[in-house]
Amino acid sequence: MNKKQKRMLVRIIISSVFMVVLSQLKIEDIWGGWLRFGLYMVPYIIMGYDILRKAVKGIINGQVFDENFLMAVATIGAIGLGEYSEGVAVMLFYQIGEFFQSYAVGKSRRNISQLMDIRPDYANIEVDGKLTQVDPDEVEVGTIIIVQPGEKVPIDGIVREGTSSLNTAALTGESLPRDVTVGDEIVSGAINMTGVLKIETTKEFGESTVSKILDLVENASSRKSKSEDFITKFARIYTPAVCCGAVALALIPPAAQFIMGNDPQWTLWIYRALTFLVASCPCALVISIPLSFFAGIGGASQQGVLVKGSNYLEALSQVKYVVFDKTGTLTRGVFEVTGIHHSPMEEEKLLEYAALAESASSHPISKSLRAAYGGEIDRSRVTDIQEISGNGVIAKVDGIEVAAGNDKLMKRLNIEYTDCHSVGTIIHMAVDGKYAGHIVISDVLKETAKQTMAELKKAGVTKTVMLTGDTERVAAYVAKDLGIDQYYSELLPGDKVDKVEELLETKPAKAKLAFVGDGINDAPVLSRADVGIAMGALGSDAAIEAADVVLMDDDPLKISKAIKISRKCLGIVYQNIYFAIGVKLLTLVLVATGTVGMWMAIFADVGVMVLAVINAIRALFVKKL
């Protein structure tokens, strides 16, 4: 509880004590009546001075019709009619509601702050053999910083000395630690768990991952959803309308009775009009709807899903089409040797020949061959290297001619080869002029890719599509294996935009299309889709900039979780809208007809606001989705 809330609680307690004492006093004479008025003004001023000040300030600034104005008019009017206890009670219960709302919003903000508690307080640099703490903003690129166990990594960089495990839960939502060693890139916001690390910074603090993420979350509230815009417009029309309704209620019925020769009962109708104002206050909507979205964004961040604004959270809830890039999204984006076929020699020996022949190349295929071999590469054993574009490599290993490449290379060398029916890149091998079998290299599917498609269907997604630059054969295999509805193969980056455009034109009007990519090569498609989702964006500036929704790790399963979070949040928003408006309208009718009095009006205002706020903060808790 902050100081402001504590002061408010003290005011509530003091005013409540006054109200209890005053309810026991029996003052009947004229001077006693003035004394009673003066005594009731004490708790009224204690409780309502800030509301009265805001109401006057709003009138001066031309912003008359808000909840402060409604409360001021209603309570002053009640006191003017001699209903001291009810006038003070309205202000007291309104402030109790405000206190509860302030506490709930504060708690929601604290929870989000804890979930996103990644801002470093300092960075350690070594000066004259001693560690000195400096402001992260003051650290220049290329500086060596020291991160001790238990400390946050303050700035992005590369590990130059030490090994450790990092807790990235605040970034990715995952509890499993990540091991790092010399040469590994490391991002700010992670917590060092074990060893001491010396890190060479590669970015300034303002450009680091932690800074970008915090900026993203802090600015999310500036992007309003259609629901929030509706409530803002509704309040602008609704509040003046109910004020006019209250004036009409105070004047028209008694005037009509006066014309008809009956007792106009001015006091009764003015009291009803004031009660009408109390019941009409729209704070339940104005407060709970933005709070619902704020809590939803906070709940998503807890799961490692960063949403750039409530408008994107709302759009995400309407997603029916999900389009995937393949490499790095559904697959790991890392090529691995997955098979060796038709080789007359030992597999280890064939891999050794392939790794040595490809040792001069930096191509991902060559790297995967060297990784599969696992031994130390002695470049002195390799001579006469010929790299034939579009075919492969010919080299001499220990004086023996080795050819590694595709079927075109085998045809070029007039060597008979065996076709492979496996899906992936096929490296045919020839050793000393004779066919030595082939090696299959594939981009391995992510473990949760298949489950992702099933979960998306459960979440209400009607169509899944895969776009890839791979061959028809590879694309068909992956799509069938994962259960993807439709795929397009052999696409250039520009072709992916065209396909998304086609899908946008053919989808149902109310359905939204989400594109999921790695955020680096797919920026044009991410920006064209209704919702752009960047996968595995930890440390990727391009992903954070290009996408509307950023998944901080490589798990595609979080896409369905993000959709479920958004739908839960929107469900809460609509519950609050229907509940608040429904209760308000019913209460206004009952007040206008004299069926209920001031106390029911207080419940309609404060009670509905409290219930709506409690419902709104449910969006923060999404662990079970």
- Residue 104's pLDDT is 62
Annotated active-site residue 325? The verdict is yes
Instruction: Report the run of H or E that residue 306 belongs to, with start and end.
Output: strand 305-307
Pairing of strands 531-534, 549-551: parallel
Whether residue 619 contacts residue 572, with contact meaning beta carbons closer than 8 Å, is answered with yes
For 324, residues 6+ apart whose C-beta sits below 8 A from its C-beta are: 330, 464, 465, 466, 467, 484, 515, 516, 517, 556
Bridge partners of 428, per DSSP, are 405, 438
Residue of 534, 517, 371 lying closest to 439 (CA atoms): 371
Q: Helix axis angle, 557-592 relative to 266-280, nearest 10°?
A: 180
Model pTM? 0.68
Whether residue 454 contacts residue 465, with contact meaning beta carbons closer than 8 Å, is answered with no
383 token code pair: 């001579």
C-alpha to C-alpha distance for 292 and 317, rounded to whole angstroms: 14
Read off the pLDDT of residues 505-552 as tens digits, 9 standing for 90 and up: 999 888 999 999 875 567 778 888 899 898 866 545 666 677 788 887
Residue ranges, the chain, pLDDT below 70: 1-2, 26-32, 65, 101, 104-119, 169-176, 210, 212-225, 228, 231-232, 235, 493, 519-521, 536-544, 621-625
- Residue 612's pLDDT is 82
Let me know how many helices (H) and strands (E) the chain has, helices first.
21, 22
- Residue 439's pLDDT is 92
- Residue 319's pLDDT is 94
Residue of 469, 541, 467, 451 lying closest to 203 (CA atoms): 541
Number of other CB atoms surrounding residue 595 within 10 Å: 10
Of the residues 325, 443, 470, 530, only one is catalytic, namely 325
C-alpha to C-alpha distance for 24 and 33, rounded to whole angstroms: 14
Instruction: Report the run of H or E that residue 155 belongs to, with start and end.
Output: none
Read off the pLDDT of residues 547-604 as tens digits, 9 standing for 90 and up: 788 887 778 898 998 899 899 989 988 898 888 888 888 888 888 888 887 777 777 7
- Residue 623's pLDDT is 56
